[in-house]
C-alpha cells in the first residue's frame, strides 16, 4: 500500500535527480544511479600523495586529504554544487556525504577518524544562506562513519569577502586570520576537516593552522569536489 501511494504521489510531485533532472526511481535518493556511476570520482581516498595532498605540501601539516569528485566548469558536478549552495538543496550534501563516508570507512587513511569538523560560515552568511553546506556534507559523512560532528570548536570570527575570482595569494590574505578555536577537549584525536570545494586550499590551510593549536591532533581533510587546474 505504501509503495502504491509513493508511486501515485511521484506522478504528481516527481522526485528528480539533482544532477541530471531525470525522475528518480523508488530506490534512488537525490542523485540517480546513472549519475552516481558517471560523475567524475577521484578515488583519492585510496591514494597517498594524491593531488589534494600535494596541494598542501609545505603549507599545512595534514595527515591525509581527499575529495569525492573532480570539479570542472560547466560539468554536472558544478551544477550539483550550485543547487546545493544556492538553491536550498541541502539533501545533496547529505547524500554525497553518506555515500562517500562508506568509502572512507574502508580506507586505511581515514578509518581512524574520531571527530568531523565542518569549515564554518560566518553567522551573518549562514543566516543569509540558511545553512552551512559543509555541515550538510559532514552530517552525511557522520551517519556513514558513525562518528560525531563538532560544529562548535572551529569559529569564523570575521565576515570575509567571497573567494570567487580571487587569486591564490588573495584567497590566503582573505582568510588567513579569520578562524579561531574554542577550548574543546580534542587533544590527541584524529580530526576530519570537511569543506564543499577545494580550489587553492587557502581556507583549509587557515583552518588547519587554527586547529593545530590543540595539542597532539592529527588532521585529515575531505571535500565534495576538487577544482583541479
With 70 as the cut, is the pLDDT of residue 183 above it? no
With 80 as the cut, is the pLDDT of residue 173 above it? no
CATH number at residue 160: 3.40.50.2020
Residues 15, 115 within the same domain: no
Place of cell 541541502: 90
Report pLDDT for 178: 64
Residues 33, 98 within the same domain: no
For 11-36, the pLDDT digits (tens) are 445 799 999 999 999 889 999 999 99
206, 175 in Cβ contact below 8 A? yes
Residues 52, 15 within the same domain: no
Residues 33, 44 within the same domain: no
| Selection from 177, 113, 183 nearest residue 148 by Cα | 113
Residues 160, 181 within the same domain: yes
SS3 category, 83: helix
Residues 34, 44 within the same domain: no
Report pLDDT for 48: 95
- Residue 199: how many CB atoms within 10 A of its CB? 21
What is the DSSP-derived secondary structure letter of residue 153?
S
75, 206 in Cβ contact below 8 A? no
pLDDT: is 49 or 167 the higher one? 49
Residues 84, 127 within the same domain: yes
What angle separates helix 133-145 from helix 91-105, to the nearest 10 degrees? Answer: 40
Domain ranges, residue 219: 40-226
DSSP per-residue string spanning 171-204: HHHHHTT-EEE-----TT-EEEEEEEEESSSHHH
Residues 111, 18 within the same domain: no
Residues 99, 123 within the same domain: yes
| Selection from 164, 163, 174, 161 nearest residue 206 by Cα | 174
Residues 106, 10 within the same domain: no
Tell me how many domains the chain contains. 2
For 99-156, the pLDDT digits (tens) are 999 999 999 999 999 999 999 998 888 888 899 999 999 999 999 999 999 999 998 8
pLDDT: is 201 or 164 the higher one? 201
Residues 100, 190 within the same domain: yes
Residues 74, 14 within the same domain: no
Q: What is the pTM of this model?
A: 0.86
For 29-85, the pLDDT digits (tens) are 999 999 999 999 999 999 999 999 999 999 999 999 999 999 999 999 999 999 999
Amino acid at each position: 500500500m505504501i509503495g502504491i501511494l509513493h508511486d501515485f504521489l511521484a506522478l504528481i510531485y516527481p522526485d528528480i535527480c539533482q544532477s541530471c533532472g531525470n525522475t528518480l526511481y523508488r530506490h534512488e535518493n537525490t542523485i540517480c544511479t546513472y549519475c552516481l556511476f558517471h560523475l567524475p570520482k577521484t578515488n583519492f581516498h585510496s591514494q597517498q600523495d594524491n593531488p589534494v595532498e600535494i596541494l598542501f605540501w609545505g603549507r599545512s601539516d595534514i595527515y591525509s586529504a581527499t575529495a569525492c569528485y573532480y570539479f570542472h566548469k560547466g560539468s554536472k558536478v558544478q551544477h550539483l554544487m550550485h543547487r546545493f549552495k544556492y538553491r536550498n538543496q541541502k539533501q545533496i550534501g547529505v547524500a554525497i556525504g553518506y555515500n562517500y563516508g562508506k568509502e572512507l570507512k574502508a580506507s586505511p587513511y581515514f578509518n581512524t577518524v574520531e571527530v568531523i569538523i565542518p569549515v564554518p560560515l560566518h553567522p551573518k552568511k549562514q543566516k543569509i544562506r540558511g545553512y552551512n553546506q559543509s555541515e550538510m556534507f559532514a552530517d552525511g559523512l557522520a551517519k556513514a562513519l558513525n562518528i560525531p560532528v563538532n560544529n562548535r570548536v572551529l569559529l569564523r570570527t570575521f565576515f570575509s569577502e567571497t573567494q570567487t575570482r580571487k587569486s591564490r595569494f588573495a584567497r590566503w590574505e582573505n582568510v588567513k586570520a579569520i578562524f579561531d578555536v574554542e577550548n574543546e577537549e580534542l587533544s590527541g584525536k584524529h580530526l576530519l576537516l570537511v569543506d564543499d570545494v577545494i580550489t587553492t586550499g587557502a581556507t583549509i590551510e587557515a583552518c588547519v593552522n587554527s586547529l593545530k593549536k590543540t595539542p597532539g591532533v592529527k588532521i585529515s581533510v575531505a571535500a565534495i569536489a576538487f577544482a583541479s587546474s
